[in-house]
Amino acid sequence: MNKPDHLVVDDRPFAAGLIFGGGAVLFVCIGVTMLIDLEISGLVMLAIGGLISLGFYFLVEHSQMVFNRPEGWAELRKKSMHRQSSERYNLDEIEQAVVQSRGSSGSSGAGRTLYRISLFGSGPVAEGIPLTNSYSGGTSAESIALVINAWLAGK
């Protein structure tokens, strides 16, 4: 939602949720099928499915940054399977959104750049507030930072 008085930026990790959720279901189904056929190695598949489920439980997190100009605050809300948190900041302390990048190289030697958006300013915001806990690929971070900076410029 982008209005003159309110801006809401969402980060919904659909891909991570699908990968972790689909992987967990796949390994559990394979494990159960193997156990039905009396193959003891099905327990290994169930264990792998359980570990992937733990990854889903701890790593998949929905982040939402809400900017409220009339009341003068910005709030970072994070929600996952095991916790929910929110942190409120004074809107006057936030100066800009910056795209942080980090190089990554795979085993093939081919590199790619990963991005995340952080807010910088003064006070508690001086060291930066990452909107997400992880870096991700793609170019959407730059366009989101532009929207946030344009909205902040309208103070």
DSSP code of residue 115 = E
- Cα gap 66→9, rounded to integer Å: 7
pLDDT tens digit sequence for 80-121: 888 899 988 888 888 888 887 777 555 554 455 556 777 777
Return the number of other C-beta atoms located less than 10 Å from residue 83's C-beta. 9
- The better pLDDT of the pair 128, 45 is held by 45
As a whole number, the mean pLDDT across the chain is 83
Domain ranges (residues) in the chain: 6-12+68-153, 17-57
Helices (DSSP H) in 10-130: which residue ranges? 14-36, 42-59
Give the per-residue pLDDT at 26: 96
pLDDT in tens, 18-53: 999 999 999 999 999 999 999 999 999 999 999 999
CB neighbourhood size of 147 (10 A): 13
Give the predicted TM-score (pTM) of the model. 0.73
- In degrees, rounded to 5, the angle at the alpha carbon of residue 145 between the alpha carbons of residues 84 and 3 is 75
